[in-house]
Every structure is written in C-alpha cells, then in structure tokens.
Amino acid sequence: MKSLNISSIKKTNHSKYNQFRNNSDLVSEIIQLKKEKNAVLLAHYYQSPEIQEIADYLGDSLYLAQCAQKIDADIIVIAGVHFMAETAKIINPSKMVLLPDLEAGCSLADSCPPNDFKKFIKNHPKTVVVTYINCSAEIKALSDIVCTSSNAEKIINSIPKNKSILFAPDKNLGNYLIKKTGRDMILWDGACIVHEAFSLDRIIALAKKYPKAKFIAHPESTSPVLNIANFIGSTSALLKYIKTDSSNSYIVATESGIIHQMQKSCPDKTFIPAPVKDESCACSECAYMKLNTLKKLHNCLLNESPQINLNERLINKSRKSIDRMLALS
C-alpha cells in the first residue's frame, strides 16, 4: 500500500482485533485484496461491527470526506451509503470509488429530488443554499455550501447575518440549527426514517426505568425527542461525549451501529438503543447502511464493481460546495 500523507488523521488500530480477523476466511481475503489492489476501506459508524473492525478509516460523514480528500491509494471502498461514495468520488475523482451495494441509499437524499429542489430555490431567490451532506451530487451542485452534523453550526454561523438561508434536506437538523444559531432558515421538508422512528413516550418510559441513564441523541431526531436530551451531537460528538462524561449508562437515539464503538471505548458502561414507535421493528438500524455485508465487500473488491461514476460537469459543479465546507472544517 502506498504511504498515506495524512498528518491529521489517525489510522484505525486493528492490533487488538487480529483474533477476529483470523477467525474468518472472508475477512482474511478482504484484507489480502485490499493489499493487492492498493485499496483502502472507509467505513461509517453505522456499519455492522464486522465491517467496522476491518475498516482502515472509521468515522462520521465529515471524517470520511476528509479522509477521501487525502487518500492516495488507487481504490477507495466506501462502507456506507451512496451519497458518501459520491462525495468521495467528487473530492478525489481520479480514484476508483467502490460501494459494495449500489442500493445503499438514504431516505434523506431520496426526499430531495433535484427538479423539485431547483423550483424550491427559484421560489426563494437570493438565499444562501446550505445542504446537509446527506443528499445527491445533483443537489450538492445546486448548493452554495455543504455541511455535516459535525460542522453544521459552524457553517451556519459563517454566513453573514444579513443573508437569508435555505436549508435542505433535513427539517429536523434544520429546526435544531435554528434553535442553536438563532438564524431564521427556510427548510426543505425531508427527514431520516431511522431518526424519525424514535418514540418519545417509550424513551420517557425507559428513562424512568433507568433513572441514572443519560439520554443522548443525534440532531436528525425530531424536536420533541431532542427537547428531552441531555446531550445532542453528531455520531463522533456522541462518541466523544460518552468517553468523558461521568455517567455509567446512556439511552442512545441514533442508528444502533454506533453502540459497537461506544461499548469498545467504554466497556464498563451500559448503552441502550432508544426505542422506536413500532415495537416489532428494528427501526433503529438503517436498512440502507446494513445492505453492506462482508460478502458484498469481498465481491466488490474482487470484481472492482459496483463503481461510482459521475460526469465531469457534475463533479466540478458539486465540488465547489463541498470544498467550501472542507475549508471551514
């Protein structure tokens, strides 16, 4: 593998988990293929534990974008969803970018079709268009600046006070940012199916059962849920919080994949996934994220497919809004 010129980004330490690797032929083959093909694996915290364990870089949406910018390997494999793979391709277009399952989409990205968004912008002229990174390349191309849940507040605060802001596609993150920054924003009506599924009543009942547990939530959750949270933050902020906070137990309102890293960081603490409205559903798992499997990861490396391909015009148009975000992050 070529040496990586990433001074500010630490590579995941797998030494403790060699045993896990040795137990699986598939895992060994994936690692071998990565080496042979000079490929790196970037994984989001919402991936299954077995994928998280073999990732070269593991993190939230911002971290994965920052890694994609600096990686000089020949192939970037994204164990995440489609918009993350598109973002990696836009940032580093000369690399081959693979996504183990092209169906791994995102309800937020789907909630914002480019033609409808174009009309929305036209109906709100002279606004600064800020879009959450969870959107398609076409939407990024229509945006002035992109943000993630880690840097959204900073991005909004960087916009001059005399400018009106249009924010898309997540209305829940948008409402949270309105409260945090005091800025009035025009919001697109999109949401994440995973974070909208949390049940306020069931969270309150669980909190009564575990009175010492703190309730922590991702800002894609609805306002009533966020209103009762002890701490609100992106996946990386939630992870950082539980490492330094004095409590021993937490009810966690975000995709349950993050709990693997929380448990690894703090093995003596207890992490309880926040309950969802539908008691028969594992809705705190993102069905899109969980489409990626070790088998698909192996196949995509072996066959160098499916690849993310975007035309040059779209790459150039969408890159500006991502570059502006990266410069501010």
Interface positions with ligand 13P (CB under 6 A): 60-61, 134, 148-150, 192, 220, 234-235
Q: Which is nearer to ligand SF4, 33 or 216 (CB)?
A: 216
Least distance CB 184 / ligand SF4 (angstroms) = 24
Rounded Cα–Cα distance for residues 279 and 287 (Å)? 16
Distance separating the N- and C-terminal Cα atoms of the chain:
28
d(CA 219, CA 223): 9
SS3 assignment, position 42: strand
Which segments within 19-61 are labelled E, that is strand? 39-44, 57-59
Judged by DSSP in three states, 309 sits in: coil
Q: Which of residues 51, 65, 108, 325 is near ligand SF4 by CB under 6 A?
A: 108
Query: Quick check: 5 and 70 in contact, CB under 8 A?
Result: yes
Q: At its nearest, how many Å lie between ligand SF4 and the CB of residue 193?
A: 5
Residues 120-139 that bind ligand SF4 (CB under 6 A): 134
- The site partner of 288 among ligand 13P, ligand SF4, none (C-beta below 5 to 8 Å per kind) is ligand SF4
Tokens found for residue 204: 């309150």
State how far the Cα of 252 lies from the Cα of 208, in Å rounded to an integer: 15
Nearest distance from C-beta of residue 276 to ligand 13P, angstroms: 16
Q: Could you tell me if residue 81 is left (phi over 0), alpha (psi between -120 and 50 degrees) or otherwise beta?
A: beta
Stretch that binds ligand SF4, among 11-19, 31-39, 65-73, 282-290 (CB under 6 A): 282-290
Binders of ligand SF4 among 179-208, rule CB under 6 A? 192-194
Q: Distances from the Cα of 107 to the Cαs of 23, 225, 293, 321, in angstroms?
A: 35, 19, 20, 21
Question: Closest by alpha carbon to 306, among 80, 134, 96, 92?
Answer: 96
- For residues 66 to 105, the per-residue mask of contacts with ligand SF4, x marking binding by CB under 6 A and - elsewhere, is ---------------x------------------------
Cβ-based nearer residue to ligand SF4, 138 or 255: 255
Query: Considering the rule CB under 6 A, would residue 106 count as an interface residue with ligand SF4?
Result: yes
Can you list the positions of beta strands (E) in the chain? 39-44, 57-59, 75-79, 96-98, 127-132, 145-147, 164-168, 185-187, 214-217, 231-232, 249-253, 270-273
- Spatial strand order of the sheet with 185-187 comes to 145-147, 127-132, 164-168, 185-187
Q: Is 255 in the site for ligand SF4 (CB under 6 A)?
A: yes
How far apart are alpha carbons 171 and 49 in whole angstroms?
30
Stretch of 69-77, 113-121, 261-269, 283-291 contacting ligand SF4, by CB under 6 A: 283-291
Q: How far is the CB of 86 from ligand SF4 (least distance, A)?
A: 13
Both structure tokens of 148: 């993630």
Which of 87, 199 has the CB closer to ligand 13P?
87
Residue for token digits 């800020």? 130
CB 276 → ligand SF4: shortest distance, Å? Answer: 13
Q: Which of 87, 107, 148, 149 binds ligand SF4 (CB under 6 A)?
A: 107
Among 289, 301, 308, 322, binds ligand SF4 (CB under 6 A): 289
- Shortest separation between residue 173's beta carbon and ligand SF4, angstroms: 10
Please state the closest distance from residue 177 (CB atom) to ligand SF4, in A: 16
Q: How far is the CB of 75 from ligand SF4 (least distance, A)?
A: 22
Q: Shortest CA distance to 207 belongs to which of 253, 268, 243, 254? A: 253
Q: Which residues bind ligand SF4 (CB under 6 A)?
A: 46, 81, 106-108, 134, 192-194, 220, 255, 286, 288-289
